[in-house]
């Protein structure tokens, strides 16, 4: 089984969904608790929620395997993204509710973690880098849009209910400030939803590692509360009515990115 699927686009925009996967190899799953085998910390239904992406001409990169196998949005050296706060590992040992992922004595050792990085993490990131480089060569600019979601109430990571939308740009380091301003405006105009920019979630490894505005690659992360489009409790069902209400905002965000890239291209055209 391939570790991911890439659907190339015809525009400078690539949407990455690194936590959408749910597959766990049997050799790993049999060492995991029953609760962990339900992969509760998945960014559920991202591919379904963003099913309009290809119609906009954007590319999509989606992994098949669960973040419990290896987290594609963590650095390969497992350095914490948020020093001083609660962080999850490259190969998570606990679920978001602090319950164990593995039975006692069954957690992966350093050699196994290294093997998982080589088997699952590196192929995804090679493809991600190659595709961003390809888009930049063709269009002069590339934009990575990291699509994420999380339960709206996770005491381990934040004290109160999470805003519906959390836009992260590493405090403006990973994308042009004008683009950040435009995306903020979209969120601000979305009636009935709350938002924050560079709050608790400032962008994970992918946003921070690939975002290089000075080098023609923009990167933003959108962390979305799952209460806006699904049932946050097992079995984590998709809510068509809620999803229908929130999708126009997501469409507008990506259309705003594409309009911005078009202006960039025009600005670089001689004459």
Taking only Cα atoms into account, the Rg of the chain, rounded to an integer number of angstroms, comes to 18
Is the pTM above the cut of 0.85?
yes
pLDDT at 61 over 90: yes
Give me the mean pLDDT over the 128-155 stretch. 97
Q: What is the mean pLDDT of residues 174-196?
A: 97
d(CA 84, CA 187): 29
Question: In this predicted structure, what is the pLDDT of residue 266?
Answer: 65
Q: What tokens appear for 69 in the block?
A: 């196998």
Q: What is the pLDDT of residue 269?
A: 54
Mean pLDDT of 201-212: 96
What's the CATH code of the domain at 259?
3.40.630.40
Q: Encode pLDDT of 24-40 as tens digits.
A: 999 999 999 999 999 99
- Domain span including residue 43: 4-268
Banded model confidence at residue 149, pLDDT cuts 50, 70, 90: very high
pLDDT recorded at residue 122: 98
The two three-digit tokens of residue 127, written as one number: 């493809």
Domain count for the chain, please give it.
Answer: 1
Whole-number pLDDT of residue 205: 97
What tens digit of pLDDT does each residue of 69-128 get?
999 999 999 898 887 777 789 999 999 999 999 999 999 999 999 999 999 999 999 999
Average pLDDT, the chain: 95
Amino acid 271: pLDDT = 44
């Amino acid at each position: 089984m391939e570790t991911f699927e890439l659907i190339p686009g015809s525009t400078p925009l690539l949407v990455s969904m690194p936590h959408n996967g749910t597959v766990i190899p049997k050799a790993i799953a049999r060492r995991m608790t029953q609760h962990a085998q339900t992969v509760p910390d998945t960014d559920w239904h991202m591919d379904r929620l963003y099913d309009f992406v290809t119609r906009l001409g954007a590319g999509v990169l989606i992994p098949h395997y669960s973040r419990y196998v290896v987290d594609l949005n963590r650095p390969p050296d497992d350095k914490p993204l948020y020093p001083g706060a609660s962080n999850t590992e490259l190969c998570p040992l606990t679920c978001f509710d602090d319950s164990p992922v593995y039975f006692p004595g069954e957690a992966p050792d350093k050699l196994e973690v290294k093997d998982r990085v080589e088997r699952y993490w590196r192929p995804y990131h090679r493809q991600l880098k190659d595709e961003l480089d390809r888009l930049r060569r063709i269009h002069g600019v590339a934009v990575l849009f990291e699509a994420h979601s999380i339960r709206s109430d996770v005491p381990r990571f934040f004290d109160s209910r999470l805003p519906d939308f959390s836009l992260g740009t590493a405090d403006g380091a990973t994308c042009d400030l004008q683009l950040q301003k435009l995306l903020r405006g979209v969120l601000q105009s979305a009636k009935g939803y709350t938002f924050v920019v560079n709050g608790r979630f400032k962008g994970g490894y992918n946003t921070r590692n690939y975002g290089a505005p000075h080098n023609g690659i923009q990167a933003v992360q959108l962390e979305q509360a799952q209460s806006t489009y699904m049932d946050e409790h097992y079995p984590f069902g998709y809510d068509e009515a809620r999803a229908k209400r929130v999708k126009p905002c997501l469409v507008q965000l990506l259309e705003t990115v594409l309009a911005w890239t078009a202006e960039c291209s025009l600005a670089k055209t001689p004459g």
